[in-house]
Amino acid sequence: MAEKPLRGNTYRTKNKPETSASTASQPAFDWPALDWGAVASSPKNILISGVILMVVSALLEVAFLSYIFTGTTDQSEVAALGYEPARQVGANTRNVLGLFGAFVSQVFVYRWFGIASLIIPLIPFLVGWKLVFKSELLNLNRTTKEVIFYTIWVSMLMGYVVMVSNSATSLSFLPGGFGYYINDLLRDLLGYGNIIFIAIVLFIFVVYFYNVDPVERWKAAPAPANETLTDAAIAEPEEAPIEAEPDSPKKTHSVLDETYEDEVIDEKPVPESEPVILPVPEPIAASEPEVPLELELEMADIAPIPLLVDEPDVDSVSEEILRNFGQYDPTLDLPSYQFPPLELLNEFNENALEKVSHDELESNKERIVETLGSYGINISKIKATIGPTVTLYEIIPEAGVRISKIQNLEKDIALSLAALGIRIIAPMPGRGTIGIEVPNKNRETVFIRSVLGSERFQKSTYDLPVVLGKTVSNEIYIADLAKMPHLLMAGATGQGKSVGLNVILASLIYKKHPAQLKFVLVDPKKVELTLFNKLERHYLAQLPNSEEAIITDTKKVIHTLNSLCIEMDSRYDLLKEATARNLKEYNAKFVQRKLNPEKGHRFLPYIVLVIDELADLMMTAGKEVETPIARLAQLARAVGIHLVVATQRPSVKVITGLIKANFPARLSFRVTSSIDSRTILDTGGAEQLVGQGDMLLAINSEIVRLQCPFIDTREIEDVCDFIGSQRGYDGPYPLPEYEGDDAADGRGEIDTDDFDALLPDAARLIITHQQGSTSLIQRKMKLGYNRAGRIMDQLEQIGVVGPFTGSKARDVLFHDLESLEQHLRSMGLG
């Protein structure tokens, strides 16, 4: 057998030099190296330790309790340990946990802390709980300090009680050895006055540990701030204590401040020496210049609640704050905000809706069967489902009929039915049938009120629910924009695109509070989205120093898109610091007060970028628009930035490969040609739609036909008026500043002359391997580290890889060579 070189732990080789002849000649036993770090961090071992700790603490508790009744008799038995065999002693003990119980109780209760020992098992129990459930039942740090203090103190007190009651023998277990001797000592020093000493010890502990400030406490007059600030108080301001002095609003405010301070210091203890950060309340815009009394209450409501304590033991401190102040509620920014009521939307009468008549159904059925029959296709079954715009006839052909044959008859069936917009779905996914969609003679309008008021929408738990319409089987189709995660919309003019965009915006507005969602509205046509201007101080986001919240100017659009990229990058930094994988996790941590606002953390609202008419932008700005859109579409999902982009012209010049590749969800209203339909949906069919909100949605490699709900301009106006007339933020949500007109303005204007000649090859290499690593370039292209590093920086500049993220490889922003080549060509590098 070949001799293996000696492998061992460093300390072994150090102590025993390998040169020893005996070691070298004898095959040494290779002790498995024990990695204590790995053992300690193994989740299984942590679970086992946690459970053991909890069980041991329960056993200790049982043993201590049992000692109260059996201790006197067991005492002599335990004392016999060492003289008699342990087994014999154990058989004689009466503690429910036998010798173990008798022994530990003897130590803890009798020798040490007496009855106070009963609270000691709480500590191992809490540690075990934390290990098993990864959360704290009680604040471990604080409770440990409390247990230590009270164990000692109760033991002292009991010592005093036993001493004055002269019942030293029968009750001697109450103070334990410690309490007994301390009292003995104190009696010698202070006589019976030692109770004062014991009381003072307790007093000092309570004052420091619970942060009691009696002067402040007794000074504070009115009800505690929280009571003053409940919703009920806001709803009924006349009951608020400040009403008592209506003529002195200034004083009112100071009373509130004082009350708050009192609340923090007295009622909600925060461990000393830990600086409490009191975030400055968000400025609130008042509709009127003079601040009404009610407003003051509301301002105080959102006002200083400490968010986090800047301490290494952030977990326990944040839990403390969470316990005392509850979760952070972003909606308290605008506590009196009211969602628009459904009554603002047009009434609809379900019964008045025109339904497809029986005759129409029967005659369509007959014609389908006839037409197919004349081509030799016999049908074994036909079933109709009436939708709002089309009726779906599902047929099951007789065995042996080829599906493609039916598909080829699309035009013939349309001719025989004398109807536009026939669509054949062969086969219907998951149904085992072939579907033929035939437009109804009288179509039904899907009113926005009927869908937004539906139970499904009202109860939807999606992060960004948008009602896209009703399916052919009359079901309400709700999508989660957060999951889509972006939507590309196309449709010839007049087919319902603007209505569709308005429906999406309305769905979000009816479901999301202004604190949770912001819109960036881009409207190069300058007419479609103007109505939403009124939401400026509630829902809109805007570049600093710009006059209009709705962006119409191309240059501004470029700035805004780049600013959103900056916002995206800074959100990624925040997420990284918070070790959160996405916006939801991040916000959950913030709400749980686990993130420190002093370190730049903030509640991150979703941002939905809506572009009505991409074509205009692509024609005038091309790459400058395409690159940031693609970048956002590729990366922004995790940080809660979602795009809804619409265009009239679904040509490849507008919907480029790069854009298309990054919009997995695409929606098409009626388009003029099947080429357009293919550009947007990758399949024909959208040219067959019947307009007025009839649409096809391509999502998760499925195509769904939907009827978009209808919302008219007046309804939008009413909803926006309703929101706009309420108190809002100071102004639109500020987007980060973007330095635009400098040399590096927009990625399209990068000077490619300075780039490395190998840049395109390096880009191809990265895309092929889907790995943004400098060492890959180094190895495969046989380049020095510096040159490879420079090339990597240039790849970032041209948007092929993401920014440097520390030890991890950079994100690769293209997934196939085809779109990369297109990108390189557009940059003059192809």
Ligand X SMILES: Nc1ncnc2c1ncn2[C@@H]1O[C@H](COP(=O)(O)OP(=O)(O)OP(=O)(O)O)[C@@H](O)[C@H]1O
Secondary structure (3-state) at 330: helix
- DSSP-derived letter for residue 267 is I
Cβ closest to ligand X, residue 445 vs residue 826:
445
Residue from 85, 326, 494, 830 in contact with ligand X (CB under 6 A): 494
What is the closest distance, in whole angstroms, from the C-beta atom of residue 500 to ligand X in the complex? 7
Q: Name residues contacting ligand X, limited to 11-70 (CB under 6 A).
A: none
Cβ closest to ligand X, residue 497 vs residue 747:
497
Beta-bridge partners for 646: 489, 612
**Residue 496, annotated as binding a ligand:** yes
Tokens 């780049």 locate to 562
What is the closest distance, in whole angstroms, from the C-beta atom of residue 669 to ligand X in the complex? 6
What is the closest distance, in whole angstroms, from the C-beta atom of residue 712 to ligand X in the complex? 8
Cβ closest to ligand X, residue 126 vs residue 614:
614
Q: Please give the residue whose beta carbon sits closest to ligand X in the complex.
A: 693
**Residue 599, annotated as binding a ligand:** no
**Residue 493, annotated as binding a ligand:** yes
**Residue 101, annotated as binding a ligand:** no
Residue from 93, 495, 596, 647 in contact with ligand X (CB under 6 A): 495
CB half-sphere exposure, 564, CA atoms < 13 A: 34
Report how many residues bind ligand X under the rule CB under 6 A: 15
What is the closest distance, in whole angstroms, from the C-beta atom of residue 699 to ligand X in the complex? 19
From residue 409, give the alpha-carbon distance in Å to each of 62, 379, 395, 571, 683.
83, 14, 14, 53, 17
From residue 561, give the alpha-carbon distance in Å to each of 624, 695, 738, 788.
9, 28, 9, 30
Question: 22 burial class (0-12, 13-18, 19+ CB within 10 angstroms)?
Answer: exposed
Cβ closest to ligand X, residue 500 vs residue 640:
500
Cβ closest to ligand X, residue 493 vs residue 725:
493
Residue from 493, 683, 725, 786 in contact with ligand X (CB under 6 A): 493
Q: Name residues contacting ligand X, limited to 590-619 (CB under 6 A).
A: none
Secondary structure (3-state) at 240: coil
From residue 732, give the alpha-carbon distance in Å to each of 480, 717, 720.
25, 19, 15
Cβ closest to ligand X, residue 374 vs residue 493:
493
Cβ closest to ligand X, residue 560 vs residue 692:
692
User: Phi and psi dihedrals of 667, rounded to 5?
Assistant: -125, 135
Secondary structure (3-state) at 633: helix
Tokens 């968010």 locate to 307
Residue from 72, 445, 582, 826 in contact with ligand X (CB under 6 A): 445
What is the closest distance, in whole angstroms, from the C-beta atom of residue 752 to ligand X in the complex? 37
By the rule CB under 6 A, 499 interacts with ligand X: yes
Cβ closest to ligand X, residue 186 vs residue 708:
708
The closest of 526, 509, 531 to 518, measured between CA atoms, is 509
Query: DSSP H helical segments within 21-108, as ranges?
Result: 21-25, 36-41, 43-79, 86-92, 98-105
- Residues 624 and 175: their CA atoms lie apart, in Å, by 80
Cβ closest to ligand X, residue 144 vs residue 530:
530
> Taking contact as CB under 6 A, which single stretch among the options 261-269, 325-333, 491-499, 633-641 is the one that binds ligand X?
491-499
What is the closest distance, in whole angstroms, from the C-beta atom of residue 725 to ligand X in the complex? 26
Q: Pattern of binders to ligand X over 627-656, x per CB under 6 A?
A: ---------------------x--------
What are the structure tokens assigned to 680, written together? 């947007």
Q: Name residues contacting ligand X, limited to 680-739 (CB under 6 A).
A: 692-693, 708-710
Dihedral sign, Cα of residue 655, residue 657, residue 662, residue 666:
positive
What is the closest distance, in whole angstroms, from the C-beta atom of residue 717 to ligand X in the complex? 15
What are the structure tokens assigned to 520, written together? 């960036």
Beta-bridge partners for 694: 707
Asked whether the beta carbons of 819 and 661 are under 8 A apart, the reply is yes
What is the closest distance, in whole angstroms, from the C-beta atom of residue 713 to ligand X in the complex? 9
- Residues 411 and 423: their CA atoms lie apart, in Å, by 9
Annotated binding-site ranges for ATP: 491-498
Under the rule (CB under 6 A), what is the footprint of ligand X?
445, 491, 493-499, 648, 692-693, 708-710
